[in-house]
């Protein structure tokens, strides 16, 4: 197992990239710590698969180095990297049985047959395939085949890292939850470095200790789920994490006050900010009041599980508000107040710190 370091790494699919826009991955330095369980989260096309393929060696980066521990593997082929990779769609040998498929990576490395048998049984139990070990993979459903792919990805104990690229797309919802839990326990048991690509935030937040959020070819934040929720470093993280995401209002900031279209908002600190500024507040940290704060127009109310979500607007800018459990919604609630210490200020989309 190893720490994975990406140093000044960038990638363009074009032979002669000219501007930033030509890069699927913009220059980045990033460290994946040994034994970490990471989710790599971002919307379609932001560069997740490109990054994973560079780590596994399927793709040579157009710039920068990839290190496993102290070893520079940038030029090393996939086979020399000791990485297991599980893709979105099943990769299994149809003519082999489930057992042979699972055993394949171990047999390939000449492991002891007794060890292989035990290990295959252990993994088969994790993916719920014990009963079907002697069936040929041919004829199994896509869902079952993908479980075999997952099992094969997890069968080796000696890999540097396991990379998962949206591995549960074809798995039915109940089994998804179960497999995620299994992956988590496998991580606890063996401590492999795991990177799990997804664009589903629930999947990311339940699997990972650290979530890495990518946007437009860049890593914009790495943090615990709580850090991403409480202190999004970039407006994209605020918008992408949370359901619904953070409210963002265009503002002019002057010291410890922000002027927005509907009025003024008290900030948790003094800010020196200019240019395009936004204030961000989670729907969970907005309270409806009878006159305190910004005037709001309520458009509709939705049930979201235990809570209700108020879809409102203030001076034409949309504002979502989560009603606390049991709270009632009367006609006197005409304004919205933001909890000051929960407000983030963004200049050109990046969170800035104020001075207390």
**Contact set with ligand ATP (CB under 6 A):** 13, 24, 42, 44-50, 199
Distance CA 284, CA 231 (A): 14
The C-alpha angle with vertex 350 and arms to 346 and 353, in degrees rounded to 5, equals 65
Which C-beta is closer to ligand ATP: that of 22 or that of 94? 22
Distance CA 111, CA 124 (A): 18
Which C-beta is closer to ligand ATP: that of 68 or that of 215? 215
Which C-beta is closer to ligand ATP: that of 166 or that of 294? 166
Q: Whole-number minimum distance, CB 264 to ligand ATP, in Å?
A: 39
* Cβ neighbours for 43, distance < 8 A, ≥ 6 positions apart: 199, 215, 240
- The label of the residue with tokens 């379609």 reads 44
Q: In the beta sheet, which residues pair with residue 104?
A: none
Which C-beta is closer to ligand ATP: that of 157 or that of 200? 200
* Cβ neighbours for 325, distance < 8 A, ≥ 6 positions apart: 306, 307
Q: Whole-number minimum distance, CB 25 to ligand ATP, in Å?
A: 8
Which C-beta is closer to ligand ATP: that of 24 or that of 39? 24
Q: Whole-number minimum distance, CB 59 to ligand ATP, in Å?
A: 8
Q: Whole-number minimum distance, CB 1 to ligand ATP, in Å?
A: 25
Q: Whole-number minimum distance, CB 194 to ligand ATP, in Å?
A: 17
Q: Whole-number minimum distance, CB 44 to ligand ATP, in Å?
A: 4
Which C-beta is closer to ligand ATP: that of 15 or that of 355? 15
Distance CA 206, CA 178 (A): 11
Burial of residue 161, with CB atoms counted within 10 A of its CB: 0-12 exposed, 13-18 middle, 19 or more buried: buried
């Amino acid at each position: 197992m190893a720490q994975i370091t990406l140093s000044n790494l960038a990638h363009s699919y074009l032979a002669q990239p000219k501007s930033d826009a030509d890069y699927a991955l913009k220059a980045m330095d990033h460290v994946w710590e040994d034994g970490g369980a990471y989710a790599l989260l971002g919307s379609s096309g932001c560069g997740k698969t490109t990054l994973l393929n560079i780590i596994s060696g399927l793709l040579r980066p157009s710039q920068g180095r990839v290190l496993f521990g102290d070893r520079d593997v940038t030029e090393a082929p996939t086979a020399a990297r000791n990485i297991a990779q599980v893709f979105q769609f099943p990769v299994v040998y149809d003519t082999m049985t489930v057992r042979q498929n699972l055993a394949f990576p171990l047999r390939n490395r000449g492991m002891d047959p007794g060890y292989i048998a035990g290990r295959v049984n252990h993994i088969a139990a994790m993916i719920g395939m014990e009963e079907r070990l002697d069936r040929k993979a041919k004829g199994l459903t896509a869902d079952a085949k993908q479980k075999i792919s997952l099992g094969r990805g997890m069968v080796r104990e000696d890999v540097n890292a396991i990379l998962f690229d949206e591995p549960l797309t074809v798995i039915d919802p109940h089994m998804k939850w179960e497999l995620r839990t299994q992956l988590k326990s496998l991580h606890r048991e063996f401590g492999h470095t795991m990177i799990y690509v997804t664009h589903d935030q629930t999947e990311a937040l339940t699997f990972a200790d650290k979530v890495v959020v990518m946007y437009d070819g860049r890593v914009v934040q790495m943090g615990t789920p709580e850090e991403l929720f409480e202190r999004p470093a970039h407006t994209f993280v605020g918008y992408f994490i949370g359901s619904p995401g953070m409210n963002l209002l265009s503002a002019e900031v002057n010291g410890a006050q922000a002027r927005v279209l509907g009025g003024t908002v008290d900030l948790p600190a003094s800010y020196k900010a200019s240019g395009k500024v936004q204030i961000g507040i989670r729907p969970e940290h907005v309270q409806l009041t009878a006159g305190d704060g910004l005037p709001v127009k309520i458009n509709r109310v939705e049930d979201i599980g235990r809570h209700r979500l108020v879809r409102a607007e203030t001076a034409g800018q949309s504002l979502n508000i989560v009603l606390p459990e049991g709270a009632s919604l009367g006609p006197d609630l005409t304004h919205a107040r933001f909890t000051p210490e929960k407000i983030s200020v963004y200049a050109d989309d990046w969170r800035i710190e104020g001075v207390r």
